[in-house]
Amino acid sequence: MNILSIDSSTKKLSVAVSSNDRLLSEVTGNGGMNHMVNIMGLLDRALSKSKLTLKGIDIFGVNTGPGDFTGTRIGVSVIKILSWLEGKPAYGINSLDAVALGIGLKNSGFIAKALRRNSSVMVMPCMDVRREEVYFAFYNITTREPDDKDAYLARIGSGRRSGRMCYFIKKTGKNFLTRYDNLKNLLNNLTENEILKVPGSPFEYKNPEILIGGNCYLSYGKILSGIVKQGKIFSLDKKTACPQAGYLNICAYFNALRKVEAGNLVPVYVREFIPFGRGQQQDL
């Protein structure tokens, strides 16, 4: 199964091509927000490096946000057109899902050690969505395949190599939008008595180890460092600031594998969109 995805939700535009969950090529451009000019050139380069053509792509993926207003809509529009022209399905992937998967992939050693301690292992993608607000959610990582197979985001690792752990990542509970200066108190309330209780989830996670990642660190690093220093529950990932097209490919692959209905190619906003409103080009 060959997958092509575009992530244009940030200044770091990326296009990736994969075979199943194996990355064949990924190219990035960091030319500000001039995505309309750069996107087709990057697409051609990604296909050329993977030695495939559009005819060889089986499914498409795109980041539907939250993210930059204009950039996100460009990526969604291009994937809609490619999906229609080739008659192939396309999946819209949320930014939080993409960043959560990136945290899981880049911190496999930390996660494996925590799982061996029988801890409740969580990743927390946290995004700076401007207006002094942050947007985040929790994802549980477990070695057991979830009973509801349509709910898990991805499987990380095959488990075939000696000593390599295979685990699943699954979203739990609601999304949160809060002011940056309320983040510490909110997390303290959610993890009272070292038990994580996420609104919207029927589960309680005892003695959790929570790994925070995402671009929130770039804006509010001092606050996040203070949260980490106050106890043993939280750790900080500084490696996964932005979503990438390669992460979208993995999400799209497992959606297709589980026969999730394709679509949902509608940009996601954390606030109500007001046409022609002040600052609309920067809303997320």
Q: What is the pLDDT of residues 178-192, one digit of tens each?
A: 999 999 999 999 999
The mean per-residue pLDDT over the stretch 106-122 comes to 91
Whole-number pLDDT of residue 232: 82
Whole-number pLDDT of residue 165: 77
Residue 242, pLDDT > 80, answer yes
Q: ∠ CA(12), CA(212), CA(157), 5° rounding?
A: 80
Whole-number pLDDT of residue 272: 62
- Please tell me the distance from the alpha carbon of residue 211 to that of residue 152, in angstroms, as a whole number: 18
Question: What does residue 100 show for φ and ψ, rounded to 5 degrees?
Answer: -60, -45
Burial of 136 (0-12, 13-18, 19+ CB in 10 A): buried
Q: Which residues contact 226 (CB under 8 A, 6 or more apart)?
A: 184
CB 255 within 8 A of CB 23: no
The mean per-residue pLDDT over the stretch 243-267 comes to 94
pLDDT band at 230, cuts 50/70/90? confident
- The answer to whether 2-94+243-282 and 96-236 have equal CATH topology is yes
The mean per-residue pLDDT over the stretch 274-280 comes to 43
Whole-number pLDDT of residue 31: 60
Calculate helix-pair angle for 216-229, 183-190, nearest 10 degrees.
Answer: 50
Whole-number pLDDT of residue 151: 82
> What's the fold here for domain 2-94+243-282?
Nucleotidyltransferase; domain 5 (3.30.420)
Mean pLDDT of all residues belonging to the chain: 89
> What's the fold here for domain 96-236?
Nucleotidyltransferase; domain 5 (3.30.420)
Reported as a single tens digit per residue, the pLDDT across 168-227 is 999 999 999 999 999 999 999 999 999 999 999 999 999 999 999 999 999 999 999 999
Question: Who wins on pLDDT, 276 or 161?
Answer: 161
Find tokens 């979503």 and name the residue. Answer: 243
pLDDT band at 118, cuts 50/70/90? confident
The mean per-residue pLDDT over the stretch 240-252 comes to 95
Reported as a single tens digit per residue, the pLDDT across 67-107 is 998 899 999 999 999 999 999 999 999 999 999 999 999 99
Domain locations along the chain: 2-94+243-282, 96-236
- Please tell me the distance from the alpha carbon of residue 60 to that of residue 62, in angstroms, as a whole number: 7
Residue 164, pLDDT > 50, answer yes
Nearest to 265 by CA among 3, 83, 102: 83
Question: Who wins on pLDDT, 283 or 25?
Answer: 25
Find tokens 């108190």 and name the residue. Answer: 185
Residue 53, pLDDT > 70, answer yes
Structure tokens at 4: 């092509």
Q: Give the lowest-confidence range in 31-40, 71-80, 100-109, 240-249.
A: 31-40
% of the chain beyond a pLDDT of 70: 91
pLDDT band at 29, cuts 50/70/90? confident
